Structures are given as C-alpha cells and as structure tokens.
Amino acid sequence: MMTKGRIEAFTDGVLAIIITIMVLELKVPHGGAFEDLKPLIPVFGSYILSFIYIAIYWNNHHHMMHTVQHVTGTILWANMHLLFWLSLVPFTTGWMGENHFSSASVFLYGIVLLGAALAYFILQTTIIKSHGKTSILARALGKDLKGKASPILYITGIATAFVNIWISGALFIAVAIMWLIPDRRIERTLRDKN
Amino acid sequence: MMTKGRIEAFTDGVLAIIITIMVLELKVPHGGAFEDLKPLIPVFGSYILSFIYIAIYWNNHHHMMHTVQHVTGTILWANMHLLFWLSLVPFTTGWMGENHFSSASVFLYGIVLLGAALAYFILQTTIIKSHGKTSILARALGKDLKGKASPILYITGIATAFVNIWISGALFIAVAIMWLIPDRRIERTLRDKN
Amino acid sequence: MMTKGRIEAFTDGVLAIIITIMVLELKVPHGGAFEDLKPLIPVFGSYILSFIYIAIYWNNHHHMMHTVQHVTGTILWANMHLLFWLSLVPFTTGWMGENHFSSASVFLYGIVLLGAALAYFILQTTIIKSHGKTSILARALGKDLKGKASPILYITGIATAFVNIWISGALFIAVAIMWLIPDRRIERTLRDKN
Amino acid sequence: MMTKGRIEAFTDGVLAIIITIMVLELKVPHGGAFEDLKPLIPVFGSYILSFIYIAIYWNNHHHMMHTVQHVTGTILWANMHLLFWLSLVPFTTGWMGENHFSSASVFLYGIVLLGAALAYFILQTTIIKSHGKTSILARALGKDLKGKASPILYITGIATAFVNIWISGALFIAVAIMWLIPDRRIERTLRDKN
C-alpha cells in the first residue's frame, strides 16, 4: 500500500543530515595555528569512524530495501526505530571525541552502536516476516554471520570500556572493517533469481 | 497542475531535518563521566517524545498524500502552514527539556502540538474539499475520531500545565500512543476500491 | 542533456534546509518562564516573515520549473546564484531579530531580498532565452508586473531603513502578501495549451 | 544491481546540507551596526569561494553520473570517500575565515580541496574501469586536462601557504574559475552518440 520510494527518500534524508551534522562537532578553534587543531584530533578520529558507520548503514539499508516489495506499517516503524538510534550517533561521537575517549563515553558509543544493530536486526526480521521465508532477503542472508557477530563484538566492546578503552575501540573498528568487506549476498541472490 | 512528488519531497526534507536537528539540543557535556549526562536526561526524554510525534506526522502525511490526485495552491499553502508549526517543535522540545518541564515550557509545547494538529486538520479539510466528499480520503477518515480527540486532549494538557505538569505530560504521551496504534483506515479504503 | 529532476531535488533540499535552519536562530533561553521568551519575540517575528518568503520562492520556483523542458549549464548556474542569495536569509533574519530591527540589519535584510529577487529574475530570463519567446513561461509571465514591482518595493524599503524601519518592514511584508495572493498565470497558460 | 537514483539522491542531500550548513559559520554578531559585520568579511569571502566549489562539485558529479549505467559497490564507496572530503569543507572554510586566512588555515583548506580532487579522480577512474575504455565517460574526458591541472594547482597553493597566502588564494580561485568555464565534453559526447 505504502510506496517504497518515500521511505527510502526519508531515510536517505535523515542519514545525509546525520552524516553531515556530525561535522559540526568539529568546532572551529579560535587560534589559527596548527597546534590549535590538536584538541580536535580525537574528535576527528571519532568523526571518521562514525562517518564510516553511517555510510555502512546507508549501504546495507539500500541493499535490504532493494528486496522489499511492499511496505507495511510495522516495517515503517521498525525503520523509524533504526533512525532513532542512528540519530544519537552525532551526540555520542562528539562526547567521545571531546572527552578523549573516556570510559563512560566509549561505553555509551558502544550502547548506541548496539542499539542500532538490534534495530537493524528487528527491521530485517520484520521484512522477512512479511515477505516469507523464501523471499530474496531471507535466502540472501542465509545464516547472517555478520549480523550475528556484530552484537557480540559490540557487547564485548561495551564490557571492556571500563577495563581498557583500546580493546573497545579495536572491536568497534573491527566491526566496521568486517562490514566494509564487500558482501555480495543480496546481489548474488538477486542475480541467481534472474 | 502541480506535481504531488515535489510537495512530498519538500515535506520529507523538512521533516527529516526537523527530526535530526532536534538532537542538536542534546549539547555534548564537557565532562566525560556518566554523571555529566544527568542534566541531559529531561532533554533526552523530551527528544524521544518529539521524535515519535514527527514520525507520526510523517507517517500520516504519507498516507494522506497517497489519496491526493491533484495539488492546488491552497493545498500547498496548507501544507506549508503545517510545516511551520512542526518547525517550532525542536525549539519547544529544547526549552522544555532544558528547563526540566517548567509549567510555561510544557504549556508552550502543548500550544505547538495543538497548532500542528489544527494545521493538519486544515490541510485534510482542504484536500477533501478539492477532491470531493466521496473521495478516498473522505471515506477513509469517516468520523475521524482520532483527529477530533487530539485537539481536545491537547487543550486539556495545555490547561493543566500550570496545575500539574504530569497530567499534561501524560496527555501528550497518550495522544502519541493513540496515533501509534495502527490505523488502517486509508489502507483499507484504498484496498476496497481495487 | 541535464535532467530537470535533479536540479529540482537539489533546490528542494537547499530550501528545506534553509527554512528549517532558520529556526536555530531561536536560541533556547536558559530560564523556564514566559518572560524568558520576551527577547525572542522580534526573532520570532522575523522568522515568520522569512519562512513565508522561502515558501514563496519554493512555490514560484516549482511553477517556473514546470515549464522548463531542458536544463542548460547557464540555467543551472543561474539557479545556484539564486540559492546563494537565499542561503543568506537565515543570517540576515537572525541579525535583524536579535538586534530588534536596527536600521543596519533591516537595510541588509532588504539587500538580500533584493539580491534574491534579481537572481530570480535572471534565472527566469535565462529560461525564457533558452526556450524561446513563445514558450509557456514567456507567455505566462506576460508583463510580469509582480516581478517588476518587487525590486522597486525592496529598493524603497532599503532606502527608508535609515529613516524609519517601520516603512521598510511594511514594504517587505507588502511584497510577501502580494506574492501570497494566488497567481494562476502559469497554471492558466499550461491549461490553455492543452 | 544498485539503482543510480538513490546514490544521486544521497549525494544531493549531503551536498545540499554542506552548502547550507556553511552559512552557520557566519555567526550572527551581537551588535546591530554595520561595523559589527566587519569581522565577518573574511568569513563571508571564504563562504563565497566554498559555495562555488561545492556547486562545481555538484554540477560535475551530476554530469558524471549521467554516464553511469550500473552502480557497483566500489563506485558507491568511492562516492562516499568523495563526500567525506567535501564534508570537511565547512570546517576548513570557517577556520580560514575566522582566522583571517592564517597560513595554517589556508594550508589546510588546500589539503581538503586536494583530497576532494583526488577522491573525485578515484571515483572517475572507478566508473571508467567498470564501464570500459570506450564508455561515454572515458571518451568524454579525453585527456582530462582540467582534472590533471587541478591537483597541480592545489599542491602549488598548499606549498605557498607559508610563503604568501595571496598566491595560494589566487590559485584556489583560479581552479574554481577554470571549472566555471562551461565544459561541454560530456554533453557533446552524449549528443554525438545519439
């Protein structure tokens, strides 16, 4: 009943704004020398990581939506739920960067990543439910190892935030790299079908 | 004459920005410990409520537009009027959150919600007028109980803001929940037609 | 060669952001009482005026684009030029509001309105040139009284800013009202053609 | 597999936000006289230059995408890489403007321009690789003199930033003008094909 186009357009809009608004946390320093940029280095580092995360979400969302044939009210709200978690990324990115990766800020960053991952999983499950177990998405995901590994890695990263933030950081980066490696499951399944 | 697509795209853009810009009211605190987040809790609470409200408006707008066949100048301006009220939501959300739900801020929050509800009602009426009483939207709305109950609940919430803000808060949350419950009137009417 | 859709989408995006970003000039006050909102009243007044102006530009742009059949490089840059002037509206709106309509701020507000009006006129002329004098747009505009009256009223408003800002304000509001009155030239011409 | 439309829409969204968000660096001054605007003049100058740069990128991106027939994962990530560099433009623009074109800020501005130019080149190469050497884009670019001259001019501008910022500024403006001169390569090649 609902058109896929408008849910995609709205999601694109929100993600485009999130990814661009994050850069506002890079507050222009008052001094004009290179050393004035020093305090911004951790903010910049967290910005790069979050930029990649939002880009991955956009990419995966794009592919997943490709398989959707009809948008129900439940899919729409599951999508809003995902956007809610992602909308918190600029805040946690800024907090983590400005406080030089304090344990609490790394912990919260992980919580938001975990929340987004679970929201994505719920959205995925909702789509599969309404399209059937033999749908393109269901077959493409298969065992969905990446989808299952991510929350485990996030939870580990959250747990280690008060022990050693470098372990947490390494885990959060590892998940990003894992998703950056091309994943052709959906593309392949779509091609096989034709 | 006018294309439906561009009014939808503009509305989507504005709503996507409103929903994302609200998060900027969550100002990154200078300290890096959990207790530094404490003052943000009411801001975060009001953010969640407003996020849900904007999402509901987007959802309902989406469905309503589905039934529109031609966009007149009056529809366009009624839509702009709605966007004007919604554009004030980030401000009232921030004011309410930062002042720990002071009576005045809860009052104003209710006024903006009421303004948006009336603007939505005007837009709806404008569309029905230009499409006829037997149009899809007119038939789908029926008695439009929700649409009529909302302003009454808002007005009650506004009136109680100086008596007890918890009553106001409960009423504003109640309206949100009422709209979250799936409303399949338009979908059903469209389906019956085919 | 170039597709009309993407220039429309980009313009919609920029206008949607301009109209929404302006609201950020309404800085959330620290106090939670009504009197804390008092200093914001002039900012709010200038916000309403600018909101209507951007809405008018979006509306007129929308109609004008309707008549465009091919987008040349010159049209594209004339459009960017218009967006440049409109992008300055949030700044002049904020400056005017925060300084309680000081002469200088009203003067500058008028300059930006004039710049946008001239940029719109250039865009219009560019489109007519590339589509021919018998094109829909050329015939629809006719003598283009509104388009010619606006700059004159703006210039008068700019000139009176250092004499009496109320005259300037009245003139800027008058132009907005003039454009709000439905203008069916393009719609009628398009209809006549069919 | 992937649709061209959504990558265009996302890019349009990000560029529209970047171009509009830059204006927020023009902080509304507290005084209401003309002299209060004086400190903003360099910020305004850098804003104009960056506005033109983003507009050029949007324009060129638009034309390049016109020749794309299928979007691979590599193209998508090359595009994200370009958006990353462009997302840094508001920050470097603000820093350069607020510090009256200090050597370090001009240097960094050049670095970001160079980064964006290289990212654009990578995106272009990626598209040509996946579409073949006889593709429209490959033939349209020919020797791609502009594309090759730009990085050289940027590097010269970066190198002279600590000698004389006026040379750097002149070079960065020169590149912008070079791209503003209509470039009909792609349009011509597309036309020849039909």
pLDDT at D182: 64
Please give, rounded to a whole number of angstroms, the shortest distance from the CA of A192 to a CA of chain B. Answer: 33
pLDDT given for residue B184 in this prediction: 62
Please tell me which of the candidates B26, B28, B34 has its beta carbon nearest to residue A104. B34
**Residue C14 has what pLDDT?**
95
C77-94 residue pLDDT tens: 999 999 999 999 999 999
Domain that holds residue C167: 4-193
**CA triple B126-B130-B133, angle to 5 deg:** 95
Phi, psi for residue C3 in degrees, rounded to 5: -90, 140
Which residues of chain C have a CB within 8 Å of the CB of D90? Answer: none
pLDDT-based confidence at A1, cuts 50/70/90?
very low
3-state SS assignment for residue C183: coil
Which chains pack against B, by 3+ Cβ pairs within 8 A? A, C
Cβ pair A23:D95 closer than 8 A? no
Q: Which pLDDT value is given to residue C193?
A: 59
> What does the alpha-carbon distance between residue B168 and residue B157 come to, in Å, rounded to a whole number?
4
The mean pLDDT of chain A is: 89
H/E stretch holding D15 reads helix D4-21
Residue B164, pLDDT > 50, answer yes
Residue D6 has a pLDDT of 84
A16 contacts D13? CB cut-off 8 A: yes
> CB within 8 A of D78, min separation 6: which ones?
D119, D122, D123, D126
Q: Please give the average per-residue pLDDT across A164-179, as a whole number.
A: 94
Do B23 and A95 count as a contact with CB atoms less than 8 A apart? no
Instruction: List residues bridging with B71 in a β-sheet.
Output: B2
Answer yes or no: do A20 and D21 touch at CB < 8 A: yes
pLDDT recorded at residue C165: 93
Phi, psi of A189 (to 5 degrees): -65, -40
Name chain C's partners: 3 or more CB pairs within 8 A.
B, D
Other CB atoms within a 10 A radius of the CB of residue C111 amount to 18
Residue predicted with more confidence, C122 or B181:
C122
pLDDT at res. B194: 53
C18-61: per-residue pLDDT in tens? 999 999 889 999 899 999 999 999 999 999 999 999 999 999 99
Confidence of residue C1 (pLDDT cuts 50, 70, 90): very low
Average pLDDT over residues B32-59: 94
Mean pLDDT, residues D107-126 taken together? 96
pLDDT band at C172 (very low <50, low <70, confident <90, very high): very high
State how many domains chain A has. 1
Percent of chain B with pLDDT strictly greater than 90: 64
Check whether A124 has a pLDDT greater than 60.
yes
pLDDT at B1 exceeding the cut of 60: no
Whether residue A2 is predicted with pLDDT greater than 90 in this model: the reply is: no
Chain D residues touching C90 at Cβ < 8 A = 23-24
Residues of A with CB below 8 A from B62's CB?
2, 6
Cβ neighbours of A17 in D, within 8 Å: 13, 17
Whether the Cβ atoms of residue D48 and residue C115 lie closer than 8 Å to each other: no
Whether A65 shows a pLDDT value over 80: the answer reads yes
Interchain proximity B13–C13, CB inside 8 Å:
yes
What is the average pLDDT across C120-144? 82
Mean pLDDT of chain B: 89
Is D65:D10 a contact under the CB 8 Å cutoff? no
pLDDT > 70: what percent of chain B?
91
Global ipTM: 0.89
